[in-house]
Amino acid sequence: MSQGNREERTMLTRLRQLRRHTEIIGQILRDLWPLIAGAFSVLGVALHQFVALLR
């Protein structure tokens, strides 16, 4: 087997692993999105209340 074929297979393996990892990260973000949106909403309300207290 030539060195070029081996390097190509290694690169393809790495690309498959990268795709698998990005799919997993994407799924985690999709699952956590409501929690993240809720947290930012709460932070926004808290900031609004804090600014209102300063007036």
pLDDT for 36? 93
Per-residue pLDDT of the chain (55 residues; tens, 9 = 90+): 577 788 888 999 999 999 999 999 999 999 999 999 999 999 999 999 999 999 8
pLDDT for 22? 97
pLDDT for 1? 53
- Residues 43 and 50: their CA atoms lie apart, in Å, by 10
The answer to whether the pTM exceeds 0.85 is no
CB atoms within 10 A of CB 15: 10
